[in-house]
Structures are given as structure tokens and as C-alpha cells.
Chain A
């Protein structure tokens, strides 16, 4: 499916899971490629959530007033929780995709809020994939800072978290010891935080054809699948996706 063929009404059906499996997968893949499309989906989802929360508490019915001896002490808590969630959704609009140009606006707190509101609310481990498709220093610096922020924030909040880094296109270069200035920093993430590293097999083939040499990676890099296979599979399993 061409990205241009994905109209807003298709996206509407997509967020309600009213398309068949093939169409759902095609749109999921297109979302990985197209920032504007991701933004559209995020906005539609936000509208849906906002409508839900706007009516989660309404004025008490006469029946309820009759039934109630005194106001429930839980109302305040429910309201606070609703407002926090809505706030999270609004923040989510800005943090759905990580953009280096927008870096000053993003804090670890914002990201934490976003993630916290988009994954399960129990104490199960949060799972996040950080997708890096560029070797541009600004992009990589910002992405690794993001990784540090996320790990530090979750540690501080005493929440378990699993972070994996998936690279493709020129992003795979950050995992190559002979050319990457980030090897030590990334190795630290692997050793201390258990971060797993993936390099897209298609991008490796292209790099090999381009450079004429075998592509050598730092130890532990997994390279059996393409980013297009890994990312949708993770999303289906409930991982949160952050794009550098």
C-alpha cells in the first residue's frame, strides 16, 4: 500500500481495529516510515481517549443522589487519575516521536508520563524500543541521551524497564567499532542496563555492497532480522516505540 493511499478514514478504521489483518499490518509498516502518518494516528487516538474521559464522571443522577448518604471519598481520586491520564495524552502528542529538533521540549519526566500512560499500569516490566536510523551525531546524541533519561527515570521510580535499541539505514554505523565514536557508551548500556542491540539485516547488506567490506559490529549485536520485521513484532507484543 502506498503511503499516499492511506487516507484519514482508513486511519480511523485502523485505530478501531476494523481493518483486516493484512491492511492493519500494511499501515503499521507505513507508520514506521512516515512521521506525518504517525502524528495523524496519535491525534485520532488522543481524540478517542479524550471523549472517553470527558464522560467518565458526569453529574450525579437523581437516583444516585437518593442512594448516597454522603459523597464518595473516591471521587476525588478518580478525577485526579482521569485528569492525569488526559494530561498524559496531551503530552503524548509531543513525545510520540522523538525528534532531535524538538529536544529542548522533551524531558525524561514527559517521556515517563507518556510511556506510563501508554503501557500497562501494573508493576509489570515496561518494554521500550528505541529506533535509530541515522548516524548523524545530533540524532545519535539525542537518542542516547533519551535512553539515559528513560533508564534513570524508571530506576528512580523503582519501575522495571527493558530497553532495546534497533538500528537500520546508516544508524547501524553506531554499532561498528571501527567507525563509531559511541562504542564505549553503548557498551556501558549493554553491560550495566541489559540493553540489547539489533542491526537490520537489509541495511547490513546495503552497507556491505556500498563499502565492499564485511560489516563488523561490536559484540552482542543481533543481526538476523530486518527492522521492518522486528519493530511491528514488538509493537504487537505491547512494546512502546520511540523513534530517534
Chain B
């Protein structure tokens, strides 16, 4: 009976991980801007999560627990590769399944390019907050830094993005107005 119970629990946990896979992948992509690497990081995260499932005491914390593992995998990768400097352009433009419209979206491209220019520590925090929607305390837990550091990184990240995107905003605005007239 105990074996059946454990099997059901393991199956249920696997489903929980699978349900979060896509979002984990997006965050990994936002950090690395590399589809293959993001895929590897998520695979490794799921593997480690399953292996250490017994350490997850409270299902309510599953999200921050999983992202913490993902973050550690990412940091391990950076350490091994010695890549503490910024990535160069690594977009894989011709990935199947990507809409042409999407690829052509100047807005999305510009925002991603701006995020890519941020120092890694700022990029990690701003995507966890503004894309994944984590609270400051959750981000502090995931990235293992004090909440104050999260605040200051998020502030610096948004300041930098604002400076770059504001100019872009006015250009796009004019363009959109012209489109409306047609």
C-alpha cells in the first residue's frame, strides 16, 4: 500500500513539474537568450527536482523551490563556463514554431535587446519580477541575496530599461499613429 501511495505522490509531483516546465523555460531563455541552453537548464532542473523531491516540504513553495534550483543550475553553468561576462547576441532567429509576425515585432526585439544589455544580476531579478511575477522576498529566496539587494537591482534594471525604451516608445508611438490613419 505504501508503495502505491509513493507512486501516486511521485506521479503527482511529476505533473506539477511538467505544468511549470514552459514558464521555467521562458525564464531560462530570458536569462541566457539561448534556446538550447535554456532547454538544457530546464531538463537539469526537473531532474534535480525529482531527485530531491523529498526536500520539498510544502507544496505552496513549489514555485520558488523550482526556480531556486533553476537559478542554481544557471549559476553552475556560468561557473563551469567561466562566463561571468555578458553574452553576445545569441538569438536563434529561425527556430521552428515561432511566428514571423512575432520575429518581426520591433517592440519585442527592442525590449529583449535592452534586457540583454543588462548585467546578469539585474537581468535575473528583473525577469523574475516583471515576467515571472515573483515578490521581492521570493526573488531574494531564489537568488539567495537580501531583499534590499533585490530592490536595488530591480530599481537599477528598470532605470536602465526606461532610458533605452523611452526613446523607442516615442518612435513606436508615431509609427502606430500613422498606422491608425491608414
- Are B127 and A75 neighbours in the complex by a CB distance under 8 Å? no
Q: Is B69 an interface residue (CB 8 A)?
A: no
CB<8 Å pairs between A and B, sample of 22? A8-B155, A9-B155, A13-B151, A16-B129, A48-B129, A50-B111, A50-B165, A51-B111, A51-B131, A54-B115, A58-B25, A58-B26, A58-B38, A59-B92, A61-B38, A61-B39, A63-B42, A82-B108, A86-B107, A86-B108, A87-B107, A90-B169
A86 to B21, CA, bound (A): 25
Most buried by A among B36, B95, B129, B169: B169
Interface SS of chain B: helix
User: Any chain B CB within 8 A of the CB of A76?
Assistant: yes
| A65–chain B nearest beta-carbon distance, Å | 6
Asked if B154 lies at the interface with its beta carbon under 8 angstroms from chain A, I say yes
B-contact bits for A44-62, CB 8 A (1 contact / 0 none): 1011111111111111111
Number of A-B contacts (CB under 8 A): 138
Main secondary structure of the interface of A (DSSP, over half): helix
Q: Is the CB of B165 within 8 A of A59?
A: no
B102, A57: Cβ atoms closer than 8 Å: yes
Question: In the assembled complex, which residues on chain B have CB atoms less than 8 Å from the CB atom of A68?
Answer: 97
The smallest beta-carbon distance between A236 and chain B, in angstroms, is 20
Q: Please report A residues at the B interface, Cβ cutoff 8 Å.
A: 8-9, 12-13, 16, 18, 43-44, 46-65, 68, 71-72, 75-76, 79-80, 82-83, 86-87, 90-91, 93-94, 105, 107, 109-110
State whether B95 touches A18 (Cβ < 8 A).
no
Shortest CB–CB separation between residue B145 and chain A, in angstroms? 16
On whether the beta carbons of A58 and B29 are closer than 8 Å, the reply is yes
Known: A59-B98, A68-B97. 5 other contacts (CB 8 A): A43-B162, A49-B130, A59-B35, A59-B97, A110-B180
Q: How far is the CA of A87 from the CA of B151 in the complex (A)?
A: 28
B 156-181 to A, binary, CB cutoff 8 A, 1 in contact else 0: 00110110011001001100110010
Interface residues of B (CB under 8 A from A): 21-22, 25-27, 29-30, 35-36, 38-39, 42-43, 92, 95-99, 101-102, 105, 107-108, 111-112, 115, 126-127, 129-131, 133, 136, 151-152, 154-155, 158-159, 161-162, 165-166, 169, 172-173, 176-177, 180
Distance of B159 from chain A, by nearest CB (Å): 7
Determine if A87 and B96 form an interchain contact, defined as CB atoms under 8 angstroms apart: no
Q: Is the CB of B131 within 8 A of A52?
A: yes
Instruction: Give the docked Cα–Cα distance between A56 and B111 (Å).
Output: 12
For A75, the closest partner residue in chain B by CB is B99
A236 to B30, CA, bound (A): 33
Q: Give Cα A64 to B95, complex, Å.
A: 11
Interface pair A65/B29, CB less than 8 Å apart? no
Q: How far is the CA of A13 from the CA of B151 in the complex (A)?
A: 8
* Complex contacts, A91 vs chain B, CB 8 Å: 173, 176
Q: Give the docked Cα–Cα distance between A56 and B172 (Å).
A: 20
Q: How many angstroms from the CA of A79 to the CA of B98 in the assembled complex?
A: 10
Q: Are B180 and A109 in contact (CB under 8 A)?
A: yes
Do the beta carbons of B97 and A79 come within 8 Å of each other?
Answer: no
Tell me, in angstroms, the Cα distance from A57 to B108 when the chains sit together. Answer: 10
Most chain B beta-carbon contacts within 10 A, residue among A13, A51, A76:
A51
The reply to whether A54 and B98 contact each other, CB–CB distance below 8 Å, is: no
Nearest B residue (CB) for A50: B111
Q: Give the Cβ gap from A146 to chain B, nearest Cβ, in Å.
A: 18
Closest CB in chain A relative to B140 CB, distance in Å: 12
B158 touches A47 (CB 8 A): yes
Given known pairs A12-B154, A51-B115, A75-B99, the reply for A59 and B172 (CB within 8 Å) is: no
